[in-house]
Structure 1
Amino acid sequence: MSDAMEQDAPPSSPPPRGTKRKADEMTGPRRIRALHQDVVNKIAAGEIIVSPFHALKELIENAVDAGSTSLEILVKDGGLKLLQMTDNGCGINKDDLPILCERFTTSKLKAFEDLTSIGTYGFRGEALASISHIAHLAITTKTADSSCAWRAHYAGGHLAPAKAGQTSDPKACAGRQGTQIAVEDLFYNVPTRRRAFRSASEEYAKIADMVGKYAVHCKGVAFSCKKHGEAGAGLAVPANASVKDRIRMVYNSATANELIEIELQNDQYGFKTDGLVSNANHSSKKTTCLLFINHRAVDSSVIKKAVEQTYSTFLPKGGKPFFYLSLEIDPARVDVNVHPTKREVNFLNEEEIVEMICDEIRTRLGKVDTSRTFMTQSLLSGGKTPSISKAATLPEDDSMEVTPTIKRPSTARAASQRPYENNLIRTDAKSRKITSMLQAQSTLSREPTSDDLQYEYNDKEATICRLSTVKELRADVRENMHNELTDVYTNHTFVGIVDDCKRIAAIQGGVKLFLVDYGMLSAEYFYQLGLTDFGNFGTIRLGPPLSLRELLEMGAEQMRAQEPDTVELDWDEVVSAVSEQLISRRDMLTEYFSLEISEEGDLLSLPLLMKGYSPSLAKLPTFLLRLGPHVDWNDEKGCFASFLKELASFYVPDALPPPPASKDADEDEELANRRDELHRTIENVLFPAFKGRLVATRGLLKGTVQVANLKGLYRVFERC
């Protein structure tokens, strides 16, 4: 019976396609065969033309390479049914039409060595060939010296007849100078790829985004893009529009109005960059990145993350920037032949170039970040439309008027609902402060002496720090960052100085009031500033030079007076050891810290960390004396860290003696002037600097105490 059943059983069928064969089913190795040329071409086409907007990117780049000043784009069904682009470039010679769509045919490259000096968009000679393998391609072109235009159809990389029974030779027709390329039924012979696209509107959005990027970058070139069947263009940019106007047309006016220009050039790394980046008043939920390297639109996660990190100290939590950057790098330093779609490129010294760009953005933001835009509730009855007020971080003249502007209607409608009073926040820094109520107006009218300082600029170029120890110290600060506390200091409003003897100030963060130790804040800020600007400090020139030994002896006297009960030390020996230590390392101190000491032992200059603020020179002797025992001179990382901490302590504002207890008692005039200058400096220089660049570490939690919460106070009043 079993034999009969075995004879009646049908023969075993081969496993279905795509099923992995088991080891016991392998009867032997399969033969290796060369793929059919049609399969090879479709595989190559799938690597280059991933979606319709990739095809359009190749067409745009070819048109700009041809000298076009006007590009008209027509899209049907997201580019899958029709993708047509018309330009007014130089056109294509009739004799070149037969090989136009063959693979690796190009007018921009002859030898492999030409890649090291390539200056055009396209060079691989695969774009049109790939399109012709997966779509119906028709090209109409006319050159300046041709009496008529020529129209040709392509299929599989070769000329093809327009209709059955006709010849495949190009046909003469009427046409204007330039080239019109029509791509129909994209992916008609790759049904799996065609079914993967979700919707035509989504593909059109990607096409519009790509066109918008090149419309912003390509100066002197007009762009228009519209859907098939619609009367007006969805995107239209004239040829004579400036870059900022192009951003306004492609994106929106709110973005274009908040842009600042950046420009940077470095011969050492062979690059220059220019562009427009948003200031601190612009913030969105998503980063808008327009990045061009040698005029080619590329993606770079490294540059994007670095710029976002740079903006994290200027924007509120969750806020993202807009930036357009155009990098021109020496072609010999760039490898463009990395990705089939040329979406990614590699270039030398990427880390150093990105760091320089971020430093330039940070500098530009610091120069213009004198005001922030906040929403404030109208005080007029029935006023439901919010207005914009400029909260200046620097004191403004009372005669200045700020004209409120109206937000977009959608924002106005959202703000029409009456907020709860316990959520309202005073954000206008021009309003009357507590300090104006505690001090006489005559003392507030005094000008700080720091404004009288004279500065000179030299032509010394900024040096890039490549020391691994400094980079490790910077990383330690980032790892120790407290996000919530950083947000408080980034978005705080200065209230006033509470106690200049204990160095305590009050700030407002949201609906909360904090007391902060500004001495601790200053020490952390100047330490971070020393790491950021390592090797690029300014210089406080001393004239005449001061004797280092005399300063150290003064420091020893101060130390002896402060700690009379300590174990007796041979202070002369201490002074000699510290003096010898500093003089022996004077070259390193000058190069890294701008602390210049002559061979004879004279102190010539001190490091300048912040313009508009100078440390108290009364602390100079103690600062120099502490550089001996409190700096680890035997370890590079420890040396830099301990020296910068001592330098930060030197820059921390002085703790002044308390004012007279009686109101009738007169304070010493010199001390009163010092107190007024200190208060102005803390409010107008230090705290705005904390707002812009301070990374609040966990250690600052000890110096930040919340003393009031508006919501909690409302609950207390409700119980009363």
Structure 2
Amino acid sequence: MQLDNATTAGTKRKAEGPGEGEPAPRRIKALAESVVNKIAAGEIIIAPVNALKELMENAVDAGATNLEILVKDGGLKLLQITDNGCGIEKDDLSILCERHTTSKLSSFEDLKEISTYGFRGEALASISQIAHLSVTTKTKDSAVAWQAKYLEGRMVPPKPGASAEPKSTAGRQGTQIKVEDLFFNIPIRRKAFRSPAEEFSKIMDMVGRYAIHCSNIGFSCKKAGDASVGLSVSPTATTVDRIRQIYGSDAANELIEFSSEDVRWQFKASGFATNANYSHKKTTLLLFVNHRCVESRDIKKSLEEMYKAFLPKNAHPFVYLNLEINPHSVDVNVHPTKRYVKFEHEDEIVRAICEEISSKLASVDKSRAFMTQSLLPGVKVTTISPQPGDDAASSMQTPGPGTTRRRRNSNSLVRTDTSVRKITTMFHSTPGGAATEDAVGEGKDFLAMAAPENINYEIVDRQAVTCRLTSIKELRADVREEMHNELTDIISNHTFVGVVDERRRLAAIQGGIKLYLVDYGLMSYEYFYQLGLTDFGNFGTIRFTPPLDLREMLRIGAEAEKAALSPPESDFDVESLVEKVAEQLIERREMLAEYFSFEVSPAGDLVSIPLLMKGYTPPLVKLPRFLLRLGPAVNWREEKACFESFLRELAGFYAPEQLPALPGDEESAKEEEIDARLRGRRRNVRWAVENVLFPAFKARLVATGGLMEGVMEVADLKGLYRVFERC
């Protein structure tokens, strides 16, 4: 900027014209079209994440059910999105990147009824002005895919001297758009970005938001060159599962569902919000208005004000809000990037939504009840001496003169030392393992459950066999691919609390500062299946002396199956089924003996079954049904399917059975006594679950996604402390 010369400063300007030394008025002229387009592109595509948002919305509008995103250098070097939508016709490729060309809008009045993401026809045009754009697309009726390259809104040849017309190429149905060298002709804008990592995190956030909102659509996003995928969401995943995968279990486990609508204000709202057990350092609001991801400071502020009555100071919630409003009441053309929208009756709609969430939070808060338990009479308090470096123990010491007491973080203080006295040590037992006469009845039952089986083992000199079967290696790889990292960490570091319910096969474990209920039947099933794959060909044997009659065992199983049918089937031929299954097992006895230590004689005697684990005997009451299912449930025709189905049936046989309730419960109050064998089995199962199965889970189990159905979080220490802080 030039300053006025000192000699002309303060010179009086004449009314009829400019003073001496002043420039003449500048003439107004039209900007060049290329300059106009670049200005418009800079307003719409502010960063790589804006380009990706536009491309994702176009893919969803095209009916895609799967989106694959590839990013390099935060999207500045490469931004590629592949979908399986309807594709683009070859004849439309010539005007694809021209401004204001769209298939979703024909007149201005159509804006009042717009129900798609895109409508202005500026996204691809703007991107082509500031990047090298290439499109590969194939429609359902086209025999080949067509590829075209664009620059500054026009098709350009892929090489100098070549034709700019679309080229035929191989490809699947859908569209792949590749954006390279974003902002290559605007170096100032390109240099303004801090780092590729920061831009990639913004891209991941945007993909995550649409992955949560767009149900029945799969999303994957990764960096170019990385072997692992940064984000992968299955099309079949539920909204809660998507939130858990993207924002973690801390948020997903505390969600409450809400919905609200009002005919007067013509809106419907639904979504998920966290309850008072969850808090974060900042509010996370996923806001979709008519299925478009937008932002609203007013809605965010209103939600934060409403949550102040439920959360501690400086704590903030997670809210996913899907708001559907009459299109006549919404102006979607407020912001160039469609980041904001305006709609009528905003205050009334926001107030109604906040009241609905507030009522849900209040009902959840009222329903909480906490039980307290005092010390048992006569129990002495044990003082544990702290070890060097033990912060938790040292924080409990009484400070001496001249010492400074360290701050005790009680909400993270969990005592899980296995050397601390357990409740079972309070009951006395005779050398034979039975309770003393003066023990309380409940104490007798509890103590009777804490004894191992009396099992004798014979060690043989058989050499271990190395499995080189491709099918087994593939099955092992399948397990690794289905691994759930978070659940595996919980199980591998858990502390066993106790068996809760043998009838439903529930046990309690502690992971960190959280308490979980787990289905140990489902967990045992998965563990024994994985154990079968790991020790394939090297199983031990459980021998029957004398051997069992295979057909008789199958007959017992078939009669039980027939009796379980409701209504009974008259054409259920027990003998035919028994003979067919027996012939299958006898015919394959050599393979069964070699791979599974399952020995059947040519005459039809069951000599042995596999032994998978020392210290635990499978429930032999399930043996007839296990043998019967080896016929129809095992695929004997294909190697891989055969091994998998057999090991699955074997795992189901080994999983602990459901046991009836203890005496004193409502279901068994009318029973005068329990059979001694059943009582012994109950004692053995309880001991094996605590001392054999769960230590094995901790050491070897690879938790897969399917085990999430059998795990439920029931308490969180920090959440309980937040509740008591408000009391």
Distance 1:104 1:426, change over 3 A: closer
Aligned-residue RMSD, C-alpha: 2.8
Give the aligned partner of residue 708 of structure 2.
Answer: none
Distance 1:107 1:76 in 2: 30
Distance 1:258 1:168, change over 3 A: same
Distance 1:414 1:75, change over 3 A: farther
Give the aligned partner of residue 537 of structure 1.
Answer: none
Give the aligned partner of residue 357 of structure 1.
Answer: 353
Give the aligned partner of residue 250 of structure 1.
Answer: 246
1:205-284 aligned within 5 A: 205-284=201-280
Letter in 1 for 2:276: A
Higher mean C-alpha displacement, 91-100 vs 417-426: 417-426
Normalising by structure 2, we get a TM-score of 0.50
Give the aligned partner of residue 45 of structure 2.
Answer: 49
Distance 1:244 1:50 in 2: 32
Are residue 186 (structure 1) and residue 182 (structure 2) matched?
yes
Distance 1:15 1:427 in 2: 65
1:167-182 aligned within 5 A: 167-182=163-178
Distance 1:31 1:230 in 2: 55
Letter in 1 for 2:166: P
Post-superposition CA distance 1:539-563 (Å, at most 9, x none):
xxxxxxxxxxxxxxxxxxxxxxxxx
Distance 1:94 1:34 in 2: 35
Q: Is the 8 A contact 2:282 2:316 kept in 1?
A: yes
Letter in 1 for 2:59: A
Distance 1:111 1:414 in 2: 70
Give the aligned partner of residue 438 of structure 2.
Answer: none
Distance 2:393 2:151 in 1: 60
Give the aligned partner of residue 364 of structure 2.
Answer: 368
Letter in 1 for 2:50: H
Give the aligned partner of residue 85 of structure 1.
Answer: 81
Note the C-alpha offset of 1:426: 8.9
Are residue 340 (structure 1) and residue 317 (structure 2) matched?
no
Give the aligned partner of residue 418 of structure 1.
Answer: 395
Please state whether the residue corresponding to 2:268 is helix, strand or coil. strand
Distance 1:161 1:396, change over 3 A: same
Q: Is the 8 A contact 2:287 2:295 kept in 1?
A: yes
Are residue 107 (structure 1) and residue 103 (structure 2) matched?
yes
Distance 2:393 2:243 in 1: 30
Note the C-alpha offset of 1:253: 1.1
Equivalent position to 1:290, from 274, 286, 293: 286
Please state whether the residue corresponding to 1:273 is helix, strand or coil. strand
Note the C-alpha offset of 1:25: 4.8
Give the aligned partner of residue 323 of structure 2.
Answer: 327
Please state whether the residue corresponding to 1:98 is helix, strand or coil. helix
1:61-210 aligned within 5 A: 61-210=57-206
Letter in 1 for 2:289: I
Distance 1:149 1:108 in 2: 23
Post-superposition CA distance 1:243-282 (Å, at most 9, x none):
0000111111111001100011111111001100000000
Letter in 2 for 1:418: S
Distance 1:269 1:689 in 2: 39
Please state whether the residue corresponding to 1:326 is helix, strand or coil. strand
Equivalent position to 1:317, from 305, 313, 318: 313
Give the aligned partner of residue 630 of structure 2.
Answer: none
Distance 1:425 1:37 in 2: 65
Please state whether the residue corresponding to 1:337 is helix, strand or coil. coil
Distance 2:39 2:241 in 1: 41
Note the C-alpha offset of 1:27: 2.0
Distance 1:61 1:417, change over 3 A: farther
Distance 1:420 1:58, change over 3 A: farther
Return 5+ residue gaps in structure 1 as ranges. Answer: 1-13, 372-391, 400-412, 429-687, 693-720
Distance 1:296 1:216 in 2: 12
Distance 1:424 1:196, change over 3 A: closer
Post-superposition CA distance 1:668-716 (Å, at most 9, x none):
xxxxxxxxxxxxxxxxxxxx99959xxxxxxxxxxxxxxxxxxxxxxxx
Distance 1:416 1:47 in 2: 59
Please state whether the residue corresponding to 1:272 is helix, strand or coil. strand
Note the C-alpha offset of 1:370: 4.0
Post-superposition CA distance 1:143-171 (Å, at most 9, x none):
00000000000011011111111110000
Distance 1:420 1:78 in 2: 51
Letter in 2 for 1:34: A
Distance 1:129 1:145 in 2: 26
Letter in 2 for 1:52: P
Distance 1:416 1:116 in 2: 67
Post-superposition CA distance 1:369-393 (Å, at most 9, x none):
147xxxxxxxxxxxxxxxxxxxx5x
Post-superposition CA distance 1:188-228 (Å, at most 9, x none):
00001000001000000000000000000000000000000
Distance 1:52 1:233 in 2: 19
Q: Is the 8 A contact 2:70 2:81 kept in 1?
A: yes
Letter in 2 for 1:159: M
Distance 1:201 1:83 in 2: 14
Letter in 1 for 2:118: G
Note the C-alpha offset of 1:26: 2.9
Q: Is the 8 A contact 2:395 2:408 kept in 1?
A: no
Post-superposition CA distance 1:275-328 (Å, at most 9, x none):
000000001101111000000000000000000111111111100100000000
Note the C-alpha offset of 1:417: 7.0
Identity %: 58
Are residue 30 (structure 1) and residue 26 (structure 2) matched?
yes
Q: Is the 8 A contact 2:222 2:230 kept in 1?
A: yes
Distance 1:226 1:426, change over 3 A: closer
Please state whether the residue corresponding to 1:369 is helix, strand or coil. helix
Q: Is the 8 A contact 2:312 2:726 kept in 1?
A: no
Please state whether the residue corresponding to 2:92 is helix, strand or coil. helix
Letter in 1 for 2:291: H
Return 5+ residue gaps in structure 2 as ranges. Answer: 10-18, 375-389, 399-404, 413-722
Give the aligned partner of residue 474 of structure 1.
Answer: none
Number of residue pairs matched by the alignment = 383
Post-superposition CA distance 1:506-542 (Å, at most 9, x none):
xxxxxxxxxxxxxxxxxxxxxxxxxxxxxxxxxxxxx
Distance 1:244 1:415, change over 3 A: farther
Q: Is the 8 A contact 2:48 2:76 kept in 1?
A: yes
Normalising by structure 1, we get a TM-score of 0.51
Distance 1:105 1:312, change over 3 A: same
Note the C-alpha offset of 1:395: 6.0
Distance 2:299 2:171 in 1: 44
Letter in 2 for 1:77: D
Please state whether the residue corresponding to 2:358 is helix, strand or coil. helix
Distance 2:60 2:410 in 1: 52
Post-superposition CA distance 1:223-244 (Å, at most 9, x none):
0000000011100000000000
